[in-house]
Each structure stands twice: as structure tokens, then as C-alpha cells.
Chains A and B, each alone.
Chain A
Amino acid sequence: MNRNYAVYALKRILQAIVVILLVYVFTFVVISVLPGDPVTNTLRNPESGFSEAEITRIATYYGLDRPVYVQLGESLSRFVTGDLGLSLRSGLPVSRMIGEVLPSTLVLASSALVLALVLALAIGFGTQYLPRRYGQGLLRTLPSLFSSVPTFVIGLVLINVFAFQLGLFRVIDADGGPATFFAALALSVPVAARIAEVLVASLDHEARQEYVSLARSRGLGQARLLLRHLLKPSSLPVVSVVAVTVGELLGSTVITEMIFGRVGVGTLLRQSATTQDLPALQAIVTLAAVVFVVVNLLSDLVYPLLDPRVKLVSRREKAEVAA
């Protein structure tokens, strides 16, 4: 088992590295195909008063007219040594720009994830604990309700009610505690929906098992039943779902950051994409790929350890079993 696991882990890690490199190259190719770049865009601003000839003359200094494969080779060789290059839009080192925005996004995303888990657990607990007439039916509809309301609508409503009407936080102090809480809340709602759906389904499934009826017949109360017996086996599918939703969380931070005026990776991504700032864009997309890959990798590595029924077999053993 241990040797099989080691082989499995190594294969998954190598796959992860290949994916990250492919993402880097793919982003480069896709953006290079589009016409335009931040340098000429700045020069084309009508306030500048540059003529076409002048723009071409100045732009050649930036080396943006060299063949694509030459630029890709240069970019890739820098990347593997850890040099992310200079942003074409701002002129600052890309690593510095990402370093400045990353903490805000990490705080937002992790608070959103925690809130989502709390919400999902509350819904899951509620569906099993609350009797029918106290709103169990309503709770069951919440996951689909939460999935259908877009994040930006929730965000705008929260801002209007809690910031402008009730004055609980200031829109322009976006990094403060209360503002972060509401931003995380807006972000967490669709994620909570996704997790809650899976959790409720698993809990229902587990609740129908024979050992549950046995436990109940022996007088075990609903709360203890939930906590000690139902939660653990139901949480396995939740682990997979969380791994997938982390990616969705990253994507939604772009919109939430825009609504709440936070400066995070999402904001940087949006600015780099709209101005075609290739070095920054590559760095962010690669970062997102790394996060995705790492989270899925962890989930794949952890799953066999959590569930004793999952056994890793090597190819040789599989053949033996088939024969």
C-alpha cells in the first residue's frame, strides 16, 4: 500500500507541474494573437497627440515586434528561474504587484470559505434536525436559491443596506473588518449553496442506513446522532466539492472585489486583461493554475487516507485481479 501510494503521489505531482507549464505557454500564445499591447495603447490616447509614425517609432524600442516564439522563449527561460518580469502597463516588477495584492485576496477568499462552510453546515444540520413544520422544507430550498442569485446582486444589496442605510461600514474603507466580512458574505453564498447541496444529499443518504435506525432504536438523540455518526461519512464528498469550488471562489473574487472596492488579485487580473499586459496576465493565470492544481492534488492525496474503503492498486495488481 505504501509503495503504491508513493508512486501515485509522484505521478500526480509530475502531472501538476506539466499542467502549470502548459497553462503558462497557452496564456502567452492566446494573448499574443490579439492585436495591441499596453505600450501602444497608452501612446494612442488622443490627449497625447502622437501621430501614427511616432507611435510606431516609439513602440519598436519595447521590442514588441519581435517574433512570437522568440518572446516566448525569453519569457519561459525567465519564468523557470522565478523571474516574473516587468509589467508592460505599469513598469513595476510583476512579483511586487502580485505581492501587494495577494494578502487582500487571501483574507477575502479564506473568510469566504470559512463562512461558506459554516453556512453549509448550518443548513445541513438544520435539514436533519429541524422537524418538518419548523421550516425544514424552506431550508432545503436554500441551496438552489443561493445558487441562483448572482454574487454582484447580493453584494450591491448588502452595500446599500449595511453601508449606506445603516452605516455599519464605509465603502471607501474596503479593507476594514466589517467591510471584509460583508464582502466575504457576498462571496460565500454561492459556494455555501454548492457545499450544502452535496452535504444535504450525503446526510440524507447516510440517514437511511441501517446503523442509523439501529442507533435511534437504542434511544440516541438526533443531535448526537448527527455529530457522532452522520457527519464524518457525509464529509467525504464535501472534500471533493470544496476542492472544485476553490477555483470558482477565485473567479468570483474578481466581481466581489470590484463591487466592494477592494484591491486584490481579481482587480489586477481585470486590469491586466483589459490592457493586454502580458507578463502580469501570465503570472496571475499561472498563480490561479497553481492554486487549482495544488488544491486538487491535496484532495486527491488526502482522499485515500480518509476513506479506508479506497485502495490504491498498481497496474500489475490490477492485471492480476483481472486474470
Chain B
Amino acid sequence: MKTSRVLRILLSLVSVVVLAACAPGGAAAGGGSGEPKQGGGITFLIDSLGDTWIPNNSAISSFQGHIWGHVTDKLVYVDENGKASPWIAESWEQNAEATQFTLHLKKGVTFSDGTPLDAAAVLANLDIWAKGDPARGINPIGLFPKTYDHAEAVDAATVKVFFKAPTLGFIPTLGYHGSILISPKTIALPAAKQADLANDIGSGPFVVASWKEGDSVVLKKRADYDWGPAALNHQGPAYLDTITYKLVAEPSLRTAAVQSGQADVAYNPSPQELASFKEQGFTTATPRYLGFVNGFAVNTKVAPFDDLKVRQALQHGIDRAQLISTVYTPDWLPAKSFIQSNVPGATDHSGDFAFDAAEANRLLDEAGWTKGPDGVRAKDGKPLTLTLYPNPYLATSRSVDELVAQQLGTLGFKVNLQAFDVVTYGQRVKVAGPNVPAFEVTRSFIDAGTVAGVLTDANKGENWFGLGQSDQKLVQLATGVAGADNVGARDKTLDELQGYVLQQGYFVPLTQIVQRIYLQSPKLRGVTYNGIAYANYSTAWVG
């Protein structure tokens, strides 16, 4: 009798405690003055820490790029408008044909192991970026100009770089996330040693204090750092003492940890949750990003997309405003071209792909596709089908494609969705592949000159639309962009190129991309973002 009474009291006490603890939490009001405070550390929760830490092989990773951005510097800083400004390279000149560039380096810069960051070090880096060393297991940097010939050290603070053809995009590429400056001692190490992050020495505002594979990376500040980018308001040593990057794979756990004060930044929360975070007083950031918009590269080798009218029907048949209001939030901008609107040289061509269901239907009728009783259009007995492959590198790709499938369904398309994981996708879904009528693009670039390399197969181009060199006008425009030796001429050609590609229905834009989303504690202030949407904590403080 006595034991059961004790049990009952205990049970009620426990349930009271549990119920009381179930009250929802919220953010404390953000306070503090605008003055930077020294000291403190932050915890950044990230969904992955990539695969390998060999610098060349991992620099472009969307996740590891955060760590490289703090441990290393670049020659040039590119802001979110694509404007290049001095960093380790204080100034630069080019010749009239844009085939020779001279870089003047800042003096007194050192790597954290004491090696000077001088012309010899820059030379070693340029060579490894351009060529890699595949025999040793070190890949070249993918988007580095392929017209690279060689570089020379004129003196300890001057480097001259030579190209085989005009390469207007060279300077911005030096601010690209693959172009990280690494100590020549590290570059000389075998791949197995470079794979150990502790051996990868840079000149950045932080150094690696410790790291655990697949778990965390702890950075601590470098007290003698004094050469931050000129474009930022702070070039000296960081205010923060440490940054801890911790891998938490579950998005809901990342955001819950920040909301309950256990961490400071959560990477890649779900877009739908952003509004409620803002209401609770947290900071959300969806920084602009330079590159292609999210959209489809249409394969003209796959019927019926060899027919201009069908491509144009696709172009005008998608309601992009509905995509943004359904899948995304107002933080996502509608596409105006096939490149993001903050890329220098991007112009507004929204008229070329405006949503017009009546026009799309008319084009399909004219092309001979008649609607059957089940609503699907057919011609010569064959239905109008389209297979879409959601891109696993973009988390929202699947939802977007489902909505697009619905919209196209009302026009009479029969749309199939085939979703694969990253590995299978890489194997089976290749741009302009024989079974891929529309390849979903999500790719960043620093300089619009990159665009020329994907439109045709001239100069080992990627030939996104399967045209080879059959479209003479396209080849002419692409060559004009690639071979331009001044920005004014290039911008003119680029404008014409954007209009042409969109009118021909080669590229079907969906929305502008927000590649990186950050949920941040209100205590963290002064964070800046670069041209490829990476957060920079060398200017940040907690207070």
C-alpha cells in the first residue's frame, strides 16, 4: 500500500517536470552596442565537412569552402556584385590583348608556418591550380582558365602571368573559391600528407587548432594577421578567438541547437522556416551569389527539343512567380536572364521567357502536337514526354521540379521525374547526355567569361545544348565573349548572347539561386559575405 502511494507521487512529480519543460523557447532580445568586442568563440553547425582536405581537390566544396576561406587568403577579393578589389595582390595591369597580366603583391605577408607569401609562392600556387598533379592524386582547379601558359617572378613582389589567348576573366578568377593560396611547403607534400588538414598551411586570419575527421574543425585566430581585403572595413587580426565548425547532419537539429542557444550559426536551414526564425528575433542571411541561375539546359539532340517551337513553348509555359511563392520565400529573386542578376554584364531579358500559357499552347499546336483525350499532346502517335532529373546538389530541386511538372502537365506535357542520389546522378545524368532532355543547372562562377565555355564544343567547351558548332550565330557570340579584350565590348556581346540563348529556348531559367542560407544568433554581429555567398567571420564579433 505504502509503495504504491510513493509510486503515484513520484509519477505525478515527473509528469509535472516534463510538462513544465515543454514550453517553447525563444531568442533573448539582441542587445549590445555597435562597437566590436575582442574575444569569444562561435560554433557553426554544418551539414557536411566534405570528403578530402587535399586543398586542390576540396577548395570548391560548398562546405569546406567555409574553412578554407578563414585559413587561407586569395590574391583578389570579389564582392557580391562581382567587383574585384585588392587583397594579396595590391594592384595589377594587363596588356591590351588581355594575354599578359602583371600582379603586384603586398609586402610582409607570411604563411602561418613563417614562409613568406612572395612571388615564388604565388608562382607555385598558380602552377598547381592550372595543372594540378594528377600523377600524385592532386586535381587541377576546374574553372581556372585553360588558356594558362606559364607565370614568371619578375622580383620578390611582382608576378607576370602569360596566357595563350585573351583571358579577360583571369583577375576575377583569382577571387574564386578554388584559388586559395597555400604554402609551397604544403604543395610539395605527398597527397596522403595534404589530406591531413593540420598540414595545410595558409596565410589567413585563422589557423587550424585541431580537427576530427567527419566531426569538427576548430580554428583559432592568428594574432599577427594584418592583410585582410581592402573592401572590408577591417584588415587586422580577427576579433573572435575561435571558430568551431561542427558537423550535424540533421537540419532540424542544427536549427534547434541555435534556437536553444547551444550554437551560434546553423547552415542550410529549410527555406520555409526562415520567416518563423525572423519572428523569433534570429538573424537569417540569404546572400547573393554569382553564377548561373537555376534552370534547364535543353538538349537539342533529344526529340522533340530539336524543334524551336517546342523549346519556346517550354520557355513560356513555366510560371516562375508561382515557383517562388510556393517552394521558396520572398528572399529568392525571380530570374531575369540565365545568369544571376548581380553578375557584371547580366542584363534584364525577362521578356524573352515571360509566362504566357496561351502562347505556349499556340506554339505547341503550330508544331503539330495535338491534345489527346487524356490531356497529353501527341504527334505521329508519340506522346510529348519530358524527363526531369532533380539535381541532388540543390536541396529544393525536387520540390521545384514537381511544381514545374504540374505546370507543364496543364499544357499537355507528360513529365517524368527521376531522382537519384549524388553518386548515381554523377554516373547517369550528364549534361547533353542521350537520355537527358533537360539538365538542371546549378553552378557558380566569378566571371561571366565562363559562360562562353559551356555553349558550344569549340575549344573543348562543355556543349550544354548538344549543338556542337551547328548554330553559327551562337558560335560567333560565344567566341566574341571568350576572346574579348575589354569589358565594354564583352558586355555588349554578352547582352546579345543572353537574348539569343533565351529566345532560342536553349536555356530555360527557373529562379535565381540562393546557394547558402545561414541562421544566426543575434549575439553575432559584423558578419560579411563575399561574392560566392561565403560568410566571413574575420570581421565579426560576439556581444
Contact = CB atoms under 8 A, between A and B. Distances in A.
B142 A261 contact: no
A183 to B, nearest CB: 13
Interface in B402-443: 421-424, 426-427, 430, 441-443
Interface of B: 4, 17-18, 21-22, 43, 45, 51-54, 57, 60-62, 132, 134-135, 137, 139-140, 142-143, 191-192, 194-196, 212-215, 246-250, 253, 256-257, 260, 262-263, 391, 393, 421-424, 426-427, 430, 441-445, 450, 453, 460-462
Nearest to A53: B460
A302 interface: no
A241 interface: no
Given A90-B213, A91-B194, A172-B257, 8 more contacts: A51-B460, A58-B139, A91-B192, A93-B192, A164-B260, A166-B18, A172-B45, A261-B249
A47 B444 contact: yes
A97 to B, nearest CB: 6
B423 A47 contact: no
Given A164-B260, A172-B248, A172-B262, A92 B423 contact: no
Interface of A: 35-36, 38, 40-54, 57-58, 61-62, 86, 89-93, 97, 100-101, 134, 159, 161, 164-167, 170-172, 258-259, 261, 263, 267-268, 271, 274-276
Contacts of B194: 91
B147 to A, nearest CB: 14
B51 A92 contact: no
18 contacts: A47-B62, A48-B60, A49-B143, A49-B445, A58-B140, A90-B195, A91-B57, A91-B192, A93-B192, A97-B213, A159-B253, A164-B260, A166-B18, A172-B45, A172-B248, A258-B249, A261-B247, A263-B213
Nearest to B214: A263
Contact of B422 (A41, A166, A268): A41
Nearest to B141: A48
Given A35-B427, A48-B60, A61-B135, A89 B142 contact: no
A61 B134 contact: yes
A91 B52 contact: yes
B52 A90 contact: yes
B192 to A, nearest CB: 6
Contacts of B393: 45-47
B253 A261 contact: yes
Contacts of B192: 86, 91-93
Contact of A49 (B21, B215, B443): B443
B196 A61 contact: no
A171 B248 contact: yes
Residue in A50, A134, A274 with the greatest tally of chain B CB atoms within 10 Å = A50
A100 B253 CA distance: 24
B427 A171 contact: no
A281 B441 CA distance: 32
Contacts of A35: 427
B51 to A, nearest CB: 5
Contacts of A93: 192
Nearest to B429: A44
Given A100-B212, A165-B21, A274-B423, A90 B248 contact: no
Nearest to B462: A51
Nearest to A51: B462
Nearest to A60: B134
A52 B436 CA distance: 15
A131 to B, nearest CB: 12
B246 A47 contact: no
Contacts of A166: 17-18, 21
Contact of B213 (A46, A100, A134, A259): A100
B263 A172 contact: yes
A229 B61 CA distance: 63
A275 B262 contact: no
Contacts of A49: 142-143, 443, 445, 450, 453, 462
Nearest to B132: A58
A158 to B, nearest CB: 12
B256 A46 contact: no
A44 B422 CA distance: 10
